[in-house]
């Protein structure tokens, strides 16, 4: 009899591999062809399983937020642990001349939703990646990347303390329009 995932009831298989110390590590995965919306890594006998990044509902929701924000180019993805990791591209937003991204996780989804709602209220949804990351980091963007619109500045001002001008933040925040 094949074990089943305690979270979703789908058949799971142990795909663990021996480690360098000779012990066999258990790694539960959903059987081939099964719908994967949770992570059975805790084992088939566990009372609960943790939702994973392979959750199709999660992926669709994040992609929908970025599509509705008309900000497709700021959503990054990468294969990770049998699923997809999603990232908000915030290169050059928090530090001058930087490549940067903030991971979007299931636990952080409410922050993404609220950022979209707040931006929609001021008709500026294309700032979704920047506001999401600013709220997660509790940090304002650098002055060179700061919006000029007063309503947007208020949203970013609420994310964290005012930043000093330095090498990573060489320009002051522009005067609001």
Average pLDDT, the chain: 82
> What region does 122 belong to: left with phi over 0, alpha with psi -120 to 50, or beta?
alpha
Question: Where is pLDDT greater, at 160 or 57?
Answer: 160
Q: How far is CA 86 from the centre of its chain?
A: 5
Residue 175 lies in a domain: no
Residues 65 and 148 in one domain: yes
Q: What is the mean pLDDT of residues 5-12?
A: 66
Distance CA 117, CA 135 (A): 14
Residue whose token pair is 């000779």: 22
Query: Could you tell me how many residues make up the chain?
Result: 177
Interatomic CA distance for residues 59 and 83, integer angstroms: 10
Shared-domain flag, residues 16 and 47 = yes
3-state DSSP assignment of residue 127? helix
Amino acid 50: pLDDT: 41
Percent of the chain whose pLDDT exceeds 90: 55
Coil vs helix vs strand at 62 = helix
141 lies in a domain?
Answer: yes
Q: How far apart are CA 131 and CA 36, in angstroms?
A: 31
Shared domain check, 109 and 88 = yes
Instruction: Let me know whether 46 and 68 are in one domain.
Output: no
C-alpha radius of gyration, the chain, whole number: 21
User: Where in the sequence is the domain holding 62, given as residue range(s)?
Assistant: 56-157
Model confidence at 45, in pLDDT bands (50, 70, 90)?
A: very low
Tell me which of 125 and 40 has the higher pLDDT: 125
- Average pLDDT (8-32) is 64
Q: Number of folded domains in the chain?
A: 2
Give a yes or no: residue 163 inside a domain.
no
Angle (CA) 72-82-63 rounded to 5° is: 20
pLDDT in the model for residue 31? 62
- How high is the pLDDT of residue 51? 41
Angle at 33 between CA 30 and CA 35, to 5 degrees: 60
Residue 176 lies in a domain: no
Quick check: is 170 in a domain?
no
Q: Is 169 contained in some domain?
A: no
For residues 17-54, one letter each, b for 16 or more C-beta atoms within 10 angstroms of the residue's C-beta and e for the rest, the string is eeeeeeeeeeebbbeeebebbbbbbbebeeeebebbbb
Does 66 fall in a domain? yes
pLDDT, residue 55, reads 60
Residues 65 and 152 reside in one and the same domain: yes
- Is 63 found in the same domain as 140? yes
Q: Please check whether residues 72 and 153 belong to one and the same domain.
A: yes
Sheet holding 101-104, edge to edge: 75-80, 83-89, 101-104
Whether 37 and 82 share a structural domain: no
Is the residue at 75 inside a domain?
yes
């Amino acid at each position: 009899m094949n074990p089943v995932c305690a979270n979703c009831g789908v058949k799971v298989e142990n795909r663990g591999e021996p480690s360098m110390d000779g012990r066999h590590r258990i790694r539960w995965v959903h059987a081939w062809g099964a719908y994967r919306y949770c992570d059975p890594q805790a084992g088939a006998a566990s009372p609960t399983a943790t939702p994973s990044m392979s959750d199709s509902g999660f992926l669709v929701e994040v992609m929908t937020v970025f599509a509705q924000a008309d900000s497709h180019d700021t959503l990054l993805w990468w294969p990770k642990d049998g699923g997809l990791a999603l990232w908000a591209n915030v290169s050059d937003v928090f530090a001058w001349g930087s490549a940067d991204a903030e991971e979007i996780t299931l636990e952080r989804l409410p922050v993404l939703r609220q950022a979209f709602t707040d931006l929609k209220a001021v008709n500026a949804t294309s700032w979704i990646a920047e506001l999401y990351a600013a709220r997660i980091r509790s940090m304002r963007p650098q002055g060179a990347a700061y919006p000029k619109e007063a309503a947007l500045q208020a949203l970013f001002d609420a994310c964290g303390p005012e930043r000093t001008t330095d090498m990573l933040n060489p320009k002051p925040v522009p005067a609001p329009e």
